[in-house]
Amino acid sequence: MRPSRTNIFAFTAIFLVAISTQSFPALHEKRQLPSDLEVSGALAGLPPESTRYISREELLSMPQVNFTVTDDENFAGPTKIRGVMLEELLRRLGDSSASDMVVAICDDGYRANFSHDYLVAHHPALVLEVNRQPPAGWPKAAEDQAADMGPYMISQPKFTPSFKILSHVDEAQIPWGVVRIEFREEKIVFGAIAPRGAHARDREVQDGFHIAEQNCFRCHNAGSEGGRKSELPWESLSLLAAASPGDFASYIRAPLAKNSSAQMPGNPQYDDATLAALTAYFRTFSKPAVKP
């Protein structure tokens, strides 16, 4: 039997509704629950920098990935993860003409920057369930046994480093306590910390830049970009790198040796060339820019 014209219309309408809800899950203007995820940056169909909220339930209704992770330092042993790939979130919620990366912001000001290359190489996921449990049943943070790792965290199936710069090896980005996701453009986010001055294109300075992008930028800020876990912005780090390069380098390698209450993690694996590259890079933000 041939479907009638009205049936075709009805069918088309249902089909279109299905497509639109599939590509744009409901975003709310106001927070409904403490567990809602805040999303911002370039959101599809909304003015730049709008902030919206999406619930855990809505995230659970998006296409899910399931994997068992064995190399995530946040977990003591093999752990079953269910969640939504960040690439999926970016594709469905981000404005594709104005976002190519995902920034995950934590309740303590820490930010993990998921560049396009990182997303493609490692396929990180926003974690919704750990061993089939919602956040209340998640293990506590390894660094701080009292701390909840929810409301969201990020993990990925087996992590294989995809680059090495001097002695900085591509590091798994596994933030917990994630409260906000931003869809952003790399040229703006990383552009905020692009080296300055006559030596900006030097190899050593560029190496320092790309190391700082993945490491330091998670906790130290440059204006409105970068992490806020530390109160020391880029300019202060630059002044220190220019005035006392020795102290600067030794703090990066072993903060606890200089400051018994340091919260900054050490980088004992960084050799002298790596510390020299970071110093040369940070010095480009001090005027006058001088070559070390």
Give the footprint of ligand HEC on this chain (CB under 6 A): 212, 215-216, 218-220, 229-230, 232, 237, 240, 248, 251-252, 255, 259, 262-265, 278
Q: Residue with structure tokens 């020299």? A: 276
Nearest CB to ligand HEC, comparing residues 118 and 251? 251
Q: Cα dihedral sign for 257, 261, 267, 270?
A: negative
Q: Cα dihedral sign for 9, 10, 12, 13?
A: positive
Nearest CB to ligand HEC, comparing residues 119 and 240? 240
> Smallest distance, Å, CB 135 to ligand HEC?
22
Nearest CB to ligand HEC, comparing residues 154 and 212? 212
| Residues 6+ away with beta carbon under 8 Å from 87 | 119, 120, 123
> Smallest distance, Å, CB 76 to ligand HEC?
21
Distance CA 130, CA 133 (A): 5
> Smallest distance, Å, CB 78 to ligand HEC?
26
Nearest CB to ligand HEC, comparing residues 122 and 168? 168
> Smallest distance, Å, CB 257 to ligand HEC?
11
Nearest CB to ligand HEC, comparing residues 55 and 267? 267
Nearest CB to ligand HEC, comparing residues 37 and 240? 240
Number of other residues whose CB lies within 10 A of the CB of residue 90: 24
> Smallest distance, Å, CB 258 to ligand HEC?
7
How many CA atoms within 13 Å lie on the side-chain side of 269?
10
Which two structure tokens, joined as six digits, stand for 203?
């190899």
Which two structure tokens, joined as six digits, stand for 228?
């806020």
Which two structure tokens, joined as six digits, stand for 109?
């000001």
> Smallest distance, Å, CB 157 to ligand HEC?
24
